[in-house]
Structure 1
């Protein structure tokens, strides 16, 4: 039986090729994902570990405990702590580290990196072991800086050039005095690093005379643990904490692994979808192969083979196919991993150098996935074939499914579908994240239910295409009849395409609806012409608002300032605004009371009011940052949104209690409204600062749109794998169907159907099956997009369902294209059949 199974594989290698390709693509996706994420993670971990090579023990400040209602804050690492650290037994050197956001512009005045990765720091003395100089000399004073070699190479800056930069304040134009190398992961990821002398860095970053961290290196022969013990004895435990360099490296490696886990999970989900789609094709292929060999298997049973041996022979075939697919898929996956890494570079992101990482786990996963998926998909057809009595198999009385089995299938499908719809609808009534898991469960149940019901659905839906097919004469009529002749096969073929289009349509509906909702939110809630913020999301200096207020054409400004406070013993953030102008800059609907902010009067969003049981006229006591308490009165309750929410208080009331005030954003209204000239005037008033963004409503919407477009394009790219596998499934089904109907096609040719008509028949059959899968997929995708939107609507009042009709038409056209392309080879093969040889075929 083993030899027979191997011979069957070799005898049907052409028919099994598509199955191998389907499994191979799924395995390639899984192994490629693992290779890619392992490689990136390993590269960053090694790069990060290099950064800790010169740190044996790090001294970091502790948080000072809160005193009464006064909030806790970090202790300071001053010069005394630095000197004491450098003098402990076993210490070779102690370096005070100062870091902060530093926005550097390129030669075109544009921000280098993406803001979050634009950093600055201090260069220690005349020679800093952390940053080896490639050329030039150490910086001195505010007029000199060093830049990293990667930034120098990307921008073309050289020693002696002047660069524009900002450190949470006015624009500086220092001269580059040197270029250094670094293992900093942010720089490797496309960011920039600028270094000042220590005194300048402390002044610019608002840390005069203090440090963020002290890095201590040990003398030769002194272990990190021994040095840490000495530092713990010498330094006050209530002020500082010490951590070994090894622990820092391990923590960083763990953080990198955790940050990569999200990407890995997302990629593996899509790989799972590709495999899930491939499973249909494998099961379909083996079902047809077994059906075509029914008499052969019956003969084996008649000469003594047991049911188990027949099932086992089919599983051996599946094992061989799975093993071949696993090997080729693993090799292709290694290529995909390398390609994805290179692709990062094309998006402007760079990754630290390092080899491709192919772990034993990746190899084992590839083989397990390839072999197990194939064998599981082939098990049911093999078992079904083994249960057919030999005499019945030889007389083909088993060919059609019994009425009982069809009723059972349709009942089961109806139950799964009903359960799925019920769970999804129930999830839409839940609040936010609570409904995510039930909705996912409901989606899976519904997809399974529709898949089971697809044979039943195929007849009425394909029958709807009959009027269009009549236009093609006999070929069209035959194509329709062939499509519904074997509903189960049609269902399995169409389902592969259905799943891919369900996900693509659902994501498109979600992205379009979210974009429209955010546009609507910005238009309805914000009257300001411009919103000014930091490029990296950090806080703005209050000087920014003062400069904008003095700019010609500006009629109103207001900051949005977050300030910590304590209410009922819990930390709660207040939103500081200009009480006199905030009503002119926003358009928030008030549900209770009136929108008045000033003195002791505040306005509160609905969620916060509900949480505390407040309404218009309610009073509460808050403790500000400095511990001072004040009684505040709720003047009104407004409908908050993702842009504006919280407890709004006048900055005049808030400012006396703040030690270091800073704004999240500044809202600006101008006399002439939003225009290119007005925007240029505001940018110029702020010193053409690369650290600051000036955005109108369209800019804000475009920024959100870019994020959704990038996400959507990634999803399209990933789901393209599932669509490719679906194409292979259609080709496979049609090719086997042509082989199965060779005698019939020969008879049709003999009675007058020409080659062109034969080709048209096969192509129309493929087109109908693909469009059937496309219609089901788009329909399910719209339903899931609507359901997910209802879940979001509980958190986003402006959410509005948008159906992307144009894109859905493109998706339907895509399904039709899949059908046409998939039929090219099978149609050509059918047309070239020798009619006499076909008529004589068994």
Structure 2
């Protein structure tokens, strides 16, 4: 039967071309994403080692312990086996302009390759060495740190080392400004250092030292987001590939029932029919998988370039071709091809020989047992997941990993059950056609109602494409809009004072802003604390150190229990995510390793993005405020206050913006990456489904060439025949689009219910422009795919086409 399958492929290659192209692109996309995903796990987070260029080994705390710094005990243990230089990294700003800098001890200058070009090393607490900035030895400059402002004498100037713009202090002054030791530069054997450290910290040597560079954690976070994006895209690609290939094979087999019945009539057994179809799938899968693996490496390089250029991957990220991602892609292509034809081959094996005599094209028994089982299972799983999110995990509705699987399950369920719902939808949509004058409308309506399989096969990829677009874009837009509304509600300020070129401000800036008349000011310093409830495990929680009076006066957080006014040095405020109750006592580990036993003074509604926790300013340590919220008092002159605020912050590394502008910028920044990620996902779905629509309609049109010729013999003009073909194509697209919008309404309703539980209120947002554009693109593909073969067929004599069937 393999030779029969090969002959079938040669003689009916147009019917298999769409499946071959779709599968080839699927393997290519899978291989490209596998290669990029593999690269994210091995990509260096810093291209060159700068800060620790001359340190053979670097020891730094693990991520969970980074707020504590390197403990004195660990420093002592490492010092016993090697020479150790403690490194401290803290905020510094030189008033007068330029970016914020990093303060570090002078003993680290040589480790990073900084060389004195003028002056001498700092000898007293009042001396510093700078790397650039136009100052010369002997000049006196004012230096802002997170906690104070002080005048220093410039003792020397060094050459800059890469992007490390550091200000060096004496080791003792650096320890006073920042008691926490952030890392150790170690001159010793890596093996000996690892033995001394054990599992208490990270030991980095060679190229791994780049992980300790400034910005490396941000690059690692970006790579983590890239991995999530590629994981979702790969899941969507796999779902669409299996669905499209399976539906295309099933439809192709259904259109060949008479041919298969003829094989049964001449003696072929059901097993031989199944083997023939599996052989065809094996050959298609083999060709497509090989071609896809050839296209995957250049596709991976293009994808990596696109990710970097759009900020979805760190600068310098690159892809190298490796074997196992391509092996996985090859195997996936073969499995998709075989899985796609498996169900169709089992049904084909049950074709009776007498069906070779059947002439009617009316579809009977379209809903098979398998479609019922898998369709209801997928639909039920999607509804159950959506209900579970609303009831038990509403936060999942606010992220892509949470709502994308639900959308795919619902779309798969509705698509599998499409033959069941196509007739009523087609009857409803074609009702006006039955009232029109002329026969064309009647023929279109009758064709849609009788050829249910053809209509469903065309509507299914439209359902997938438009459904994914409407559901994913709608879900993304809804989350972004609700996050913006929530942020706008929480920010009770008129202005925000934000750092320029850094992540914090000096407390000196806060004092000067508070001195401006006619305003109320609230400062918040970001800290991370580890919280452990009695009998529970520790949990890292993002928190803010605030003044309780300022928090009460300026915040618009929704309090579930307790009161913000009860925040004291012996208490804290948490959101619902911590699952703590009012009055509970929790153990909190602070920066530096200190612990405190705090009472829960209030519990806030978590909201979509989470609220975190609040502690008093006592726990801020040496961290400066991340932002200042400024609100005008009643009767204050806005213009005068604006001028005063800009004057108070000028030259201090701070910028004054309106709260409205900041909220809009935050929304654009947050939604940008999500929207770009959705473009990747929807691009995959659109390519696949466009091929499926074209392939299905081309097969349908060629298969119904005899019916079109009969219309011409009955008196229809070629133009009327093409009108019937166009009407049937557009009708199938309309059915798919209506079903897609139904799925979108269902998913967005579930998301609305979940988000409402999180934030108390939610708004559904639908970006209609791209959804309508994708629907029109599907209609255009359908029209071209149906009209071109119909036009070609109309050039032949109708009597020749209507001749006896082969």
Equivalent position of 1:713 in the other structure: 676
**Distance apart, 1:757 and its partner CA:** 2.4
Equivalent position of 2:191 in the other structure: 225
Equivalent position of 1:308 in the other structure: 271
Q: 1:757 to 1:526 in 2, by over 3 A?
A: same
Q: 1:638 to 1:734 in 2, by over 3 A?
A: closer
Tell me, yes or no, if structure 1 residue 668 matches structure 2 residue 630.
Answer: yes
Tell me, yes or no, if structure 1 residue 213 matches structure 2 residue 183.
Answer: yes
Q: Distance in 1 between matches of 2:159 and 2:192?
A: 37
Q: 1:413 to 1:590 in 2, by over 3 A?
A: closer
Q: Distance in 1 between matches of 2:288 and 2:461?
A: 19
Equivalent position of 1:245 in the other structure: 205
**Distance apart, 1:375 and its partner CA:** 1.5
Matches for 1:441-452 after TM superposition, within 5 Å: 446-452=410-416
**Paired residues of 1:778 and 1:808 also in contact (CA < 8 A):** no
Q: Identify which of 232, 235, 238 aligns with 1:272.
A: 235
Q: Which deviations, in whole Å up to 9, do the C-alpha atoms of 1:559-608 show, x marking residues without a partner?
A: 23568799987999986544555454234566778774698998957749
Tell me, yes or no, if structure 1 residue 826 matches structure 2 residue 789.
Answer: yes
Q: Identify which of 331, 345, 358 aligns with 1:396.
A: 358
Equivalent position of 1:185 in the other structure: none
Q: Identify which of 406, 421, 433 aligns with 1:457.
A: 421
Q: Which deviations, in whole Å up to 9, do the C-alpha atoms of 1:246-271 show, x marking residues without a partner?
A: 79669999999997466335324323
Q: Which deviations, in whole Å up to 9, do the C-alpha atoms of 1:367-388 show, x marking residues without a partner?
A: 1111110111112222222222
After TM superposition, the score normalised by the length of structure 1 is: 0.76
Alignment gaps of 5+ in structure 2: 122-126
Q: Identify which of 558, 580, 601 aligns with 2:522.
A: 558
**Distance apart, 1:482 and its partner CA:** 2.7
After TM superposition, the score normalised by the length of structure 2 is: 0.79
**Paired residues of 2:532 and 2:587 also in contact (CA < 8 A):** yes
**Paired residues of 1:24 and 1:328 also in contact (CA < 8 A):** yes
Q: Distance in 2 between matches of 1:165 and 1:815?
A: 62
Q: Does 304-313 or 206-215 show the bigger shift?
A: 206-215
The size of the alignment, in residue pairs, is: 779
**Paired residues of 1:735 and 1:826 also in contact (CA < 8 A):** yes
**Paired residues of 1:596 and 1:602 also in contact (CA < 8 A):** no
Q: Distance in 2 between matches of 1:734 and 1:775?
A: 19
**Paired residues of 2:257 and 2:348 also in contact (CA < 8 A):** yes
Equivalent position of 2:14 in the other structure: 14
Q: 1:556 to 1:810 in 2, by over 3 A?
A: same
Matches for 1:176-191 after TM superposition, within 5 Å: 178-181=159-162
Tell me, yes or no, if structure 1 residue 199 matches structure 2 residue 161.
Answer: no
Q: Distance in 2 between matches of 1:226 and 1:43?
A: 27
Tell me, yes or no, if structure 1 residue 99 matches structure 2 residue 89.
Answer: yes
Equivalent position of 1:740 in the other structure: 703
Q: Identify which of 502, 506, 527 aligns with 2:471.
A: 506
Q: Distance in 2 between matches of 1:742 and 1:172?
A: 90
Q: Distance in 2 between matches of 1:497 and 1:670?
A: 54
Q: Distance in 1 between matches of 2:402 and 2:666?
A: 32
Q: Distance in 2 between matches of 1:624 and 1:217?
A: 30
Equivalent position of 2:124 in the other structure: none
Q: Distance in 2 between matches of 1:598 and 1:278?
A: 55
Equivalent position of 1:365 in the other structure: 328
**SS at structure 2 position matched to 1:193:** coil
**SS at structure 2 position matched to 1:447:** helix
**SS at structure 1 position matched to 2:277:** helix
Q: Distance in 1 between matches of 2:694 and 2:578?
A: 61
Q: Identify which of 131, 138, 142 aligns with 1:145.
A: 131
Matches for 1:286-305 after TM superposition, within 5 Å: 286-305=249-268
Tell me, yes or no, if structure 1 residue 428 matches structure 2 residue 390.
Answer: yes
Matches for 1:531-550 after TM superposition, within 5 Å: 531-534=496-499, 538-550=503-515
RMSD in angstroms over aligned alpha carbons? 5.3
Q: Which deviations, in whole Å up to 9, do the C-alpha atoms of 1:220-244 show, x marking residues without a partner?
A: xxx5325666xx5xxxx99x97946
Q: Distance in 1 between matches of 2:201 and 2:382?
A: 53
Tell me, yes or no, if structure 1 residue 497 matches structure 2 residue 462.
Answer: yes
Tell me, yes or no, if structure 1 residue 282 matches structure 2 residue 241.
Answer: no
**Distance apart, 1:786 and its partner CA:** 2.2
Q: 1:588 to 1:744 in 2, by over 3 A?
A: closer
Q: 1:504 to 1:454 in 2, by over 3 A?
A: same
**SS at structure 1 position matched to 2:758:** coil
Q: Which deviations, in whole Å up to 9, do the C-alpha atoms of 1:169-194 show, x marking residues without a partner?
A: 7799999964545xxxxxxxxxx432
**Paired residues of 2:45 and 2:211 also in contact (CA < 8 A):** no
**Distance apart, 1:99 and its partner CA:** 3.3
Tell me, yes or no, if structure 1 residue 702 matches structure 2 residue 665.
Answer: yes
Q: 1:696 to 1:772 in 2, by over 3 A?
A: same
**SS at structure 2 position matched to 1:387:** coil
**Distance apart, 1:556 and its partner CA:** 0.9
Q: 1:840 to 1:398 in 2, by over 3 A?
A: closer
**Distance apart, 1:349 and its partner CA:** 7.4
Q: Which deviations, in whole Å up to 9, do the C-alpha atoms of 1:20-59 show, x marking residues without a partner?
A: 1111222122111112233344341794799988544445
Q: Distance in 2 between matches of 1:25 and 1:674?
A: 63
Equivalent position of 1:33 in the other structure: 33
Q: 1:180 to 1:735 in 2, by over 3 A?
A: same
Q: 1:528 to 1:264 in 2, by over 3 A?
A: closer
Q: Which deviations, in whole Å up to 9, do the C-alpha atoms of 1:692-720 show, x marking residues without a partner?
A: 67451332233123312431232033212
**SS at structure 2 position matched to 1:794:** helix
Matches for 1:558-637 after TM superposition, within 5 Å: 558-561=522-525, 577-578=546-547, 581-588=550-557, 596=565, 607=576, 611-614=580-583
Q: Does 427-436 or 514-523 show the bigger shift?
A: 427-436
Q: Distance in 1 between matches of 2:764 and 2:554?
A: 28
Q: Identify which of 292, 314, 317 aligns with 2:280.
A: 317
**Distance apart, 1:806 and its partner CA:** 5.7
Q: Distance in 1 between matches of 2:9 and 2:118?
A: 71
**Paired residues of 1:170 and 1:689 also in contact (CA < 8 A):** no
**SS at structure 1 position matched to 2:625:** coil
**Paired residues of 1:37 and 1:264 also in contact (CA < 8 A):** yes
Q: Identify which of 362, 374, 378 aligns with 2:341.
A: 378
**Paired residues of 2:571 and 2:598 also in contact (CA < 8 A):** no
**Paired residues of 1:103 and 1:691 also in contact (CA < 8 A):** no
**Distance apart, 1:546 and its partner CA:** 0.7
Q: Distance in 2 between matches of 1:425 and 1:643?
A: 21
Q: Distance in 2 between matches of 1:102 and 1:34?
A: 42
Q: Does 709-718 or 53-62 show the bigger shift?
A: 53-62
Q: Distance in 1 between matches of 2:295 and 2:521?
A: 57
Q: Distance in 2 between matches of 1:143 and 1:246?
A: 28
Equivalent position of 2:748 in the other structure: 785
Q: 1:637 to 1:25 in 2, by over 3 A?
A: closer
Q: 1:699 to 1:249 in 2, by over 3 A?
A: closer
Q: Distance in 2 between matches of 1:532 and 1:285?
A: 58
